[in-house]
Amino acid sequence: MTSTLITNIGELMTQDLERRVLHGAAVVLEGERISWIGDTAAAPAADQQIDADGRAVLPGWVDSHTHLVFAGDRTAEFEARMAGESYAAGGIAVTTGATREASDYDLTRLLLGRVAEAAAGGTTYLETKTGYGLDVEHETRSARIASGVADQVTYLGAHLVPAGMDPDEYTDLVCGPMLNAVRPYVQWADVFCERGAFTEEQSRRVLTAARDAGLGLRVHGNQLGTGPGVRLAVEFGAASVDHVNYLDDDDVEALAGSWAAWNGPADARSQGTVATCLPACDLSTRQPLAPARRLLDAGVQVALASNCNPGTSYTSSMNYCVTTAVLQMGLSVGEAVRAATFGGALSLGKHVGQDTEGKRAVGSLAVGHRADLQMLNAPSATHLAYRPGMPLTQAVWRAGERIV
């Protein structure tokens, strides 16, 4: 088992239980795990050594919300939106047509390319969704292809009701034959609980069926206005509710209440519903930015994710999301980095509290955790916001293997 020692780290942002930030630090990677963290002067020998030369090291990004299995192009829709047209969910149908027409080979090739792009920007763990097939055959195909590439897969047959179908009949399909067909390939189920997509009653049926099938739950909610999405997510114990642009006091209170019994990262027993903010999507759709500051102040656990998709957020740059969270959403650099690492892991059930030794943990750097980390060509993570848009990713390791 090969070991790698990274020395002379200017700033090591661990995002571990104590949220330690170490200076003049070193870390040893042994196989797929981290085996040692401490001062450079006390570092043990290793098979190979890398001098960070004062650069910052932090966990790899955990992107907990993407839609990467698709074909086609929606540039015209983007141009129209920039010209003043409002966003509506119906554009998904354009991608559905192109995705259905694409071959397995092309969908796999496109997915692999998008995952590689994300990795080049520091993402070491990601979730992706189905939702551009919208029939049994193509949703199952999307789930199967995604399961061979992404770390976790979410079933999103409840993305949009296809044109010409009765909404209740389609919901029956989502909750029955389609769910049964995709079940071997997915860990989660999601529903777009929003005007123009699925009503509260339909969303409730989807969540109930998915829960009964043994899947974890996620919700697209409160993106285009106030509504039942957050309430449903908390009621059903969903791991995450995503978008959360429009929240009233009751929504914030419900989210905060879901965390009231949580005792911190080591506690997996009383985890609440993570609020996942998608700032790149908010900017593209010209929606108000999600109130991440308000949520954190209320005691809600927050994640940042890219929402990479062809219609409303065609980027996998978590650097961009972190930068936006700092410059426009009121988060500190430390809070934004934590949301983009530990927060995403928390929403995907991959945080340290999931087992006693942290062997499945991502999104944080500690002995025993998976060796997912990135090195910036900068002395601190602050440069992500201080030098927005600059290519600061110097090196990336995933499960101990250098991939960038």
DSSP per-residue string spanning 267-284: --TT---EEEE-HHHHHH
Question: Where are the strands (E) in 164-265, listed by range?
Answer: 188-193, 216-221, 240-243
Same domain, 54 and 156: no
pLDDT at 384: 98
Same domain, 254 and 135: yes
Residue 185 in any domain: the answer is: yes
Residue 223 in any domain: the answer is: yes
**pLDDT, tens digit (0-9, with 9 covering 90-100), for 277-293:** 999 999 999 999 999 99
pLDDT at 84: 86
pLDDT at 40: 97
Task: State the residue range of the domain holding 240.
Answer: 61-354
Mean pLDDT for the chain overall: 95
Residue 243 in any domain: the answer is: yes
pLDDT at 291: 98
**pLDDT grade for 1, boundaries at 50, 70 and 90:** confident
Same domain, 141 and 119: yes
pLDDT at position 359 over 70: no
pLDDT at position 77 over 90: no
- CATH number at 42 reads 2.30.40.10
Same domain, 102 and 235: yes
pLDDT at position 355 over 80: no
Rounded to an integer, the average pLDDT of 132-153 is 98
Percentage of the chain modeled with pLDDT above 70 = 98
C-alpha 128/C-alpha 395 separation (Å) is 23
- CATH number at 104 reads 3.20.20.140
Nearest to 325 by CA among 348, 301, 303: 303
Rounded to an integer, the average pLDDT of 215-226 is 97
Residue 359 in any domain: the answer is: no
Nearest to 148 by CA among 112, 95, 113, 118: 112
Same domain, 50 and 80: no
Residue 140 in any domain: the answer is: yes
Q: Give CA 245 to chain center in angstroms.
A: 16
Q: Which region, left, alpha or beta, applies to residue 163 given φ > 0 means left and ψ of -120 to 50 means alpha?
A: beta
Q: How many CB atoms lie within 10 A of CB 269?
A: 8
Same domain, 41 and 176: no
Rounded to an integer, the average pLDDT of 118-122 is 98
C-alpha 42/C-alpha 36 separation (Å) is 10
Residue 162 in any domain: the answer is: yes
Residue 372 in any domain: the answer is: yes
Same domain, 80 and 187: yes
pLDDT at 356: 47
C-alpha 25/C-alpha 93 separation (Å) is 50
**pLDDT grade for 353, boundaries at 50, 70 and 90:** confident
C-alpha 162/C-alpha 132 separation (Å) is 10
DSSP label of 31: T
Strands 3-9 and 25-30 come out as: antiparallel
Nearest to 365 by CA among 3, 25, 2: 25
C-alpha 60/C-alpha 16 separation (Å) is 13
Same domain, 25 and 72: no
Q: How many CB atoms lie within 10 A of CB 386?
A: 15
**pLDDT grade for 357, boundaries at 50, 70 and 90:** low
C-alpha 60/C-alpha 37 separation (Å) is 16
pLDDT at 90: 61
Residue 203 in any domain: the answer is: yes
Q: Would you call 224 exposed, middle or buried from its count of C-beta atoms within 10 A (0-12, 13-18, 19+)? A: buried
pLDDT at 182: 98
Sequence letter at residue 180: N
Structure tokens at 172: 């029956």
Same domain, 235 and 375: no
Same domain, 306 and 227: yes
Rounded to an integer, the average pLDDT of 156-179 is 97
Domains of the chain: total: 2
pTM above 0.95, yes or no: yes
Structure tokens at 262: 């949580």
Same domain, 321 and 345: yes
Same domain, 25 and 171: no
Structure tokens at 63: 């992107």
pLDDT at position 89 over 60: no
Rounded to an integer, the average pLDDT of 78-91 is 79
DSSP label of 47: S
